[in-house]
Structure 1
Amino acid sequence: MNKLIFTLIFAVFCGQLAAQDRLTGQTFTTRSEVLARNGMAATSQPLATQAALDILRKGGSAMDAAIAANAVLGLVEPASCGIGGDLFAIVWDAKTQKLYGFNGSGRAPKSLNIDYFIDKGIKYVPDLGPLPVTVPGAVDGWFALHEKFGKLPMGTLLQPAIDYGREGFPVSEVIAYEMESNYSGMVDLPGFAETYMPNGHTPRKGEVFKNPNLSDTYEKIAKGGRDAFYKGDIARTIGSYMKKHGGFLSYEDLADHTSNWVEPISTNYRGYDVWELPPNGQGTAVLQMLNILEGYDIKSMGFGSAEYLHVLTEAKKLAYEDRAKFYADPAFNKIPVEELISKSYAAERRALINPNQAARSYPAGDLEIELGNTTYLTVADKDGNMVSLIQSIYSEFASGMVPDGLGFVLQNRGAQFNVQDRNHANAIAPGKRPFHTIIPAFITKDGKPFVSFGLMGGSVQPQGHAQIVVNVVDFGMNLQEAGDAPRMRHSGSSQPTGSVMTDGGTLNLESGFTPEVFRELRKMGHQISFAVGIYGGYQAIGVDLENRVYSGASESRKDGQAAGY
């Protein structure tokens, strides 16, 4: 009997019995996709999803709904996102039948350069405090995207978040855990405890949390537009706060901020065009990984096999070495993006992979270069417009710096700069955008929209994107299954901040892969580890153009929701 009980427990841990009773689908734990015709929203928190649907029902566009959802997320998921951070988006416009890319990332303060760090012997930008703070780009992103694709007034879009901030909302389970687990070291930072620890601790699951200061800030933005944030009282408050506490970000830095429309980049993976944004983000790594994987018969390897996980991990290592060397602000560097995502370059890189042995390190590509925590959401509307939007303050609670009376924390995206090597593509410089981890994604088929998707999790994002595409294209999973399927995450590759991988890194695996696979991967030389909560908060919307039906998915690891009408 004891042996039987042990076998059952072990099988459940490995995902063998997790979904035996499902009528359809895979053997791992999952659920059905959400289907609807008039509109669909998938976000990391149900209150944000419902706010998006309310806007769609009022006649708002997909972009209107995305902005409303993002504003709510900045309130209800403050450890991951907010208007103190940056924003990127890929938009399918049904009218022009075209994809549009948007880079809403901010720049380093103009008064801060690499000499400051070298002179003080600082090898890495700290995560906390004033030094990693860069210009927040989210609000400018809202208004630029709204001007091109919005329909309803900004005041209408921000009202749900304003109301929740004043009346309060119950904190959901995963968000409560993230807030409680990541506030250490921030309690004494100016403004943090007053905003996020009103009762002496971060709000627990089910507690009603209010942030009237953020509601006030949203109201100022709704009435005064983007300039209320970048040139008005909000900007002056941020500037004086940073100066008072030893920071470099100034009113002038905010006033000079601009965003950019960019052309999305793509590769064709077995007949599907996968779209990402060019650097300073890391979307190029997704396309590099897929190009390498396309040279293998992934389908025959089988989902979860050691053979598949091995080549996936090695493809990731190869792409991330290039990521560390080349990805940076294109305004300061000529980045060889076309070469990096070419099929011929992928063939060269693929030839470095030993099918039976994990590499301890790989060289970055020999291409010419001239030096010069996150939430994801997606929305689709009745007219066929689709928005893939990602927004972040970087790590949990970011810099921990909360400007006086504004109700939001400033991002610490500057921690991604290299401050050791003046000649590195990602070396800090005045007015330069740092290497960025947050990336939205989109898939088209024969020039038509197919899937809008993304996930969060820093360096896990390109790995997650590649796994989603492979799950859908090679393994025939639907969008919900593709997100719920067990994932891998390799850590330890060289970083744009300057650290270098020499030991092969660590392959983190979720429960759901078999013990036989663990043993095979270890024989190949992979260092295996197990971790919880590092695999990304995935959302997706697919479109069936023949039946005019949307399918929505939100992975079951977190608090998210996909819903339509």
Structure 2
Amino acid sequence: MRDFQFPGRSPLRVTEAAASTSHPLATTAAIETLKAGGNAIDAAIAAAAVLAVVEPQSTGIGGDGFMLYAPKGGGQVIAYNGSGRAPRRATVDWYLGQGFNAVPTYGVHAVTYPGLVDAWCRIHADHGSKPLDQLLQPAIRYAEEGYIVADRVAFDWAACAERFAAQANVDPVLFPGGRTPKAGEKMRDPRLAETLRKIAKQGRDGFYKGSVAEDIVSHLQGLGGLHEMEDFAATAGDYVEPISSTYRGAEIFQMPPNNQGITALLMLNILGGFDLGKLDPLSAERLHLEIEAGRLAYRDRNALLGDPRHGAIKSQEMLAKGHADQLRAAIQRDRAMTDLPAATLEHSDTVYLCVVDRDRNAVSLINSTYHSFGSGVVAPKSGVILQNRGSSFRLDPKHPNAIAPGKRPMHTIMPGMAVKDGRVWMPYGVMGGDYQPFGHVHLLTNIIDFGMDPQAALDCGRVFYDFGNVEVERGIPAAAADGLKQRGHAVVEAPEPLGGGQAIQIDHQSGTLTAGSDPRKDGCALGY
């Protein structure tokens, strides 16, 4: 139980249904959908669509999405990969011939085809119950009539001001008068409202064909992009087999590559050899072990992950317990490793949400345009912000994540799902680009090893190994930070909050749901 004399919030505790998102308007849309008879899939799509309007820096219909879904409270987990691909004319030789030594972080040459709308439409057709038109109405209303800019959204928006100020043609709707909106200001985008109406009426064809697709592709081509209408129309996601590993009696499910979810599983496999529960959760020793496990797992991620359709990915070998044993042997409890290359990591903006309905259908859904406002390219008539997910590709032709025609990039956004005793236990996720495997592991070990409820586990201070430094949030005690320094870590204050997350824990025996929502975002968990 938390100390009620300190700031914080209690977890949500309900019996019927719960939703947790990074924005109160999205959580409300999910709950209203559930109360109107929709299921967890319906509620998740309604919430995701609202987030695509009210958190434009983090997500949008010009991005990608992934879903894990456990129907009817069982232990079967269904995975859907809604990530887009590179243009068919995109090759390593083309980029090198243009003088690039890396895929640009921003701009037209970082844009991959957006897979999110196709994902919504496919999972709705297969698992939803309410008409898509009905589910998109809240998002359409906020885009048309306006929404109030929330505080964290304003914080992220303002952080982009310098980058967009350098652009010749800044989108006038997103940056009115060339400035960023303040918290409490009302924003609207009628262009996006009309685009969502077309999707509501025509499904995926309203986005991937016709005027919206023409607006997007013609704009990209005008900027020198390799994108084509035929490729855009053919964009489609896939059901895939999820990957999993066990951690102290729980089976943890993740998306397979091209997703980085395997990184979190590898970290858990390494940490499973330490008795974390005997340590203080905010001690230097616990955090040091987490950091070192992350450094080892990220080394494997950076070297081995890519699109399995374009080359074998050694997932089974990476998840073998013997591999974790070998990696764990390199960790010293009192000293940071010195023989690892610094990981090349970047922060990004993403939205994650989870929903559990009265039938215990559980949805774990994540959406993103990658960096804040994605590539910075906005289709002028439709208001679609295009993602910069292509910047994850490499230009080394021998690397498994080398750019190639129709290839998916290594993807950072990763929904999570935990199963216990053959029944779904918890949909969960932590946002934050490359931070996400760290975030998943920190959240899960907080709950499993230290007995925290979902809200307390999300509130707990975080650290992240980034560019050779250990970023430490202000919620980490000074003694723990000093202890990390004594172990040889280069400790710096985190320049911004590390990620954000949501989780809903299911107790099948008592019939209760316990949910939390990260205080690093504007959102909340609601239920009934």
TM-score normalized by the length of structure 2: 0.96
Query: 2:454 maps to which residue?
Result: 479
Name the SS of the counterpart of 1:314 in structure 2: helix
Q: State the superposition RMSD in angstroms.
A: 1.7
Name the SS of the counterpart of 1:539 in structure 2: strand
1:489, 1:182 → 2: CA distance?
22
Of residues 240, 244, 253 in structure 2, which corresponds to 1:275? 253
* 2:492 partner letter: S
Do 2:473 and 2:497's aligned partners in 1 also have CA atoms closer than 8 Å? no
Of residues 359, 365, 377 in structure 2, which corresponds to 1:401? 377
After TM superposition, list the pairs within 5 Å mapping 1:89-108 onto structure 2. Answer: 89-94=67-72, 98-108=76-86
Name the SS of the counterpart of 1:334 in structure 2: coil
TM-score normalized by the length of structure 1: 0.90
Q: Aligned-pair distance for 1:30?
A: 3.2
Name the SS of the counterpart of 2:431 in structure 1: coil
Of residues 421, 425, 429 in structure 1, which corresponds to 2:404? 429
Do 1:51 and 1:160's aligned partners in 2 also have CA atoms closer than 8 Å? yes
2:74, 2:150 → 1: CA distance?
39
Query: 1:564 maps to which residue?
Result: 527
Q: Deviations over 1:35-88 (max 9, x none)?
A: 122211100000011011111111111111111111110100000000000000
Do 1:28 and 1:512's aligned partners in 2 also have CA atoms closer than 8 Å? no
Of residues 501, 513, 526 in structure 1, which corresponds to 2:489? 526
Larger Rg: 1
Q: Aligned-pair distance for 1:96?
A: 6.4
2:275, 2:412 → 1: CA distance?
29
1:479, 1:525 → 2: CA distance?
32
Deviates more, 1:272-281 or 1:27-36: 27-36
The reply on whether 1:551 has 2:527 as its aligned counterpart is no
Name the SS of the counterpart of 2:504 in structure 1: strand
Q: Aligned-pair distance for 1:200?
A: 3.6
Of residues 229, 240, 263 in structure 2, which corresponds to 1:285? 263
Q: Aligned-pair distance for 1:95?
A: 7.4
| Alignment gaps of 5+ in structure 1 | 1-22, 365-372, 493-504
After TM superposition, list the pairs within 5 Å mapping 1:138-153 onto structure 2. Answer: 138-153=116-131
The reply on whether 1:444 has 2:419 as its aligned counterpart is yes
Do 1:192 and 1:401's aligned partners in 2 also have CA atoms closer than 8 Å? no
Query: 1:113 maps to which residue?
Result: 91
Q: Deviations over 1:96-149 (max 9, x none)?
A: 652100100000011121112222331222222101000000000001110111
Q: Aligned-pair distance for 1:173?
A: 0.6
1:509, 1:337 → 2: CA distance?
31
Q: Deviations over 1:346-369 (max 9, x none)?
A: 0011111122221133389xxxxx
Going from structure 1 to structure 2, the CA distance change for 1:71 and 1:474 (only over 3 Å counts) comes to same
Q: Deviations over 1:354-408 (max 9, x none)?
A: 22221133389xxxxxxxx210001111111010000000000111111121112
Deviates more, 1:79-88 or 1:126-135: 126-135
Do 1:444 and 1:450's aligned partners in 2 also have CA atoms closer than 8 Å? yes
Do 1:292 and 1:346's aligned partners in 2 also have CA atoms closer than 8 Å? yes
The reply on whether 1:59 has 2:37 as its aligned counterpart is yes
2:202, 2:504 → 1: CA distance?
33
Q: Deviations over 1:312-351 (max 9, x none)?
A: 1110000000000111101011111111111111001111
Q: Aligned-pair distance for 1:233?
A: 1.9
Deviates more, 1:230-239 or 1:377-386: 230-239
Name the SS of the counterpart of 2:171 in structure 1: helix
Deviates more, 1:201-210 or 1:176-185: 176-185
Q: Aligned-pair distance for 1:232?
A: 2.1
After TM superposition, list the pairs within 5 Å mapping 1:99-498 onto structure 2. Answer: 99-187=77-165, 192-362=170-340, 373-419=349-395, 421-492=396-467
The reply on whether 1:36 has 2:14 as its aligned counterpart is yes
Number of aligned pairs? Answer: 522
Q: Deviations over 1:401-445 (max 9, x none)?
A: 1112111210000000001x1100101111100010000001111
After TM superposition, list the pairs within 5 Å mapping 1:82-93 onto structure 2. Answer: 82-93=60-71
* 1:542 partner letter: Q
Going from structure 1 to structure 2, the CA distance change for 1:317 and 1:96 (only over 3 Å counts) comes to closer
Do 1:72 and 1:161's aligned partners in 2 also have CA atoms closer than 8 Å? yes
| Alignment gaps of 5+ in structure 2 | 343-348
* 1:384 partner letter: R
Name the SS of the counterpart of 1:359 in structure 2: coil
2:298, 2:312 → 1: CA distance?
18
Deviates more, 1:45-54 or 1:115-124: 115-124
Do 1:29 and 1:484's aligned partners in 2 also have CA atoms closer than 8 Å? no
Do 1:77 and 1:175's aligned partners in 2 also have CA atoms closer than 8 Å? yes
Do 1:191 and 1:403's aligned partners in 2 also have CA atoms closer than 8 Å? no
